């Protein structure tokens, strides 16, 4: 059976959520966001192991939450930026398996998407899920507005997946040269490499702003997954 390992990121602070605490610990449909995300991987037969990256101040709490799962191998303290947290996770990986990196704030990822991403990564070394953008996107630079070609644009999601050696190489390179990006496949650009694109779904949105909580609650109700 195909097997992958996953780094699940929960070490942010959720500032845009304005909840006064890390958004990962907010409940949607009677369960925390981070538990809902980890549930998806725990229940995926293709997932071998889960590495949970937590905020240093929440390590104890996250370890308690993680103790209900068989596949969580360790709970790791995260870093200042998202990329620093990923690196902390990469340094703890124990096996040479295809590795997924996933935002804990995206609980609506499906097994079908995970499997399609795995298959593409086997073929092409690195791949990411994304969706075509639905708005018209304009770039504003030096006072000039340029309308970008919408049919060439996608919004990147997670998971993003790499063969293990490439993931190590790209993160080591970024660390050595102190290069930062807001997602992981962007780091490949520093090595003049390109990932494959796998079309995902709009359901796999990132819970970021206060309005996203209601959207998430509604999705759980529609899918019969509300436990409140």
Ligand X SMILES: Nc1ccn([C@@H]2O[C@H](COP(=O)(O)OP(=O)(O)OP(=O)(O)O)[C@@H](O)[C@H]2O)c(=O)n1
**3-class DSSP assignment, residue 138:** strand
CA 17, 102, 95, 119: dihedral to nearest 10 degrees? 170
Q: Does 103 bind ligand LQXTBERG (CB under 6 A)?
A: yes
Q: Does 52 bind ligand X (CB under 6 A)?
A: no
Q: Does 133 bind ligand LQXTBERG (CB under 6 A)?
A: no
Q: Cβ closer to ligand X: 24 or 121?
A: 24
Q: Binders of ligand LQXTBERG among 34-93, rule CB under 6 A?
A: 82
With CA atoms as reference, report the closest residue to 2 among 160, 125, 115.
Answer: 115
Cβ proximity of 183 and 160 under 8 Å: yes
Q: Which does 182 bind (CB under 5 to 8 A by kind): ligand LQXTBERG, ligand X, none?
A: ligand LQXTBERG
**3-class DSSP assignment, residue 150:** helix
Measured distance CA(55)–CA(71) in Å, rounded: 20
- CB within 8 Å of 78: residues ≥ 6 apart: 9, 10, 11, 12, 53, 54, 55, 56, 84, 85, 88
Q: Does 131 bind ligand LQXTBERG (CB under 6 A)?
A: no
In the complex, the smallest distance separating the C-beta of residue 83 from ligand X, rounded to whole angstroms, is 8
**From the list 154, 156, 179, 219, which residue makes contact with ligand LQXTBERG (rule: CB under 6 A)?**
156
Q: Does 11 bind ligand X (CB under 6 A)?
A: yes
Query: Which residues are at the interface with ligand X (CB under 6 A)?
Result: 9-16, 24, 53, 78-82, 85, 103-105, 206, 208
């Amino acid at each position: 059976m195909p097997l992958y390992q996953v780094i699940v990121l929960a070490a942010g602070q959720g500032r845009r959520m304005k909840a006064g605490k890390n958004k990962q610990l907010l409940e949607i449909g009677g369960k925390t966001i981070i538990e809902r995300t980890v549930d998806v991987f725990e229940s995926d037969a293709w997932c071998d192991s889960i590495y949970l990256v937590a905020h240093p101040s929440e390590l104890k709490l996250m370890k308690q939450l993680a103790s209900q799962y068989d596949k969580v191998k360790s709970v790791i303290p995260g870093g200042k930026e998202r990329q620093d947290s990923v690196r902390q996770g990469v340094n703890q990986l124990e096996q040479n398996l295809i590795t997924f990196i996933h935002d804990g704030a995206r609980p609506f990822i499906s097994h079908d998407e995970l499997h399609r991403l795995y298959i593409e990564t086997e073929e092409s070394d690195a791949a990411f899920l994304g969706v075509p953008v639905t708005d018209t996107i304009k770039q504003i630079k030096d006072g000039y507005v340029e309308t970008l070609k919408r049919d060439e644009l996608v919004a990147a999601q997670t998971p993003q997946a790499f063969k293990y050696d490439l993931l190590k190489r790209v993160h080591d390179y970024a660390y050595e040269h102190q290069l930062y990006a807001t997602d992981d496949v962007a780091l490949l650009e520093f090595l003049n490499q390109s990932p494959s694109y796998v079309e995902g779904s709009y359901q796999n949105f990132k819970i970021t702003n206060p309005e996203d909580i209601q959207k998430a609650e509604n999705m759980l109700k529609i899918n019969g997954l509300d436990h409140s």
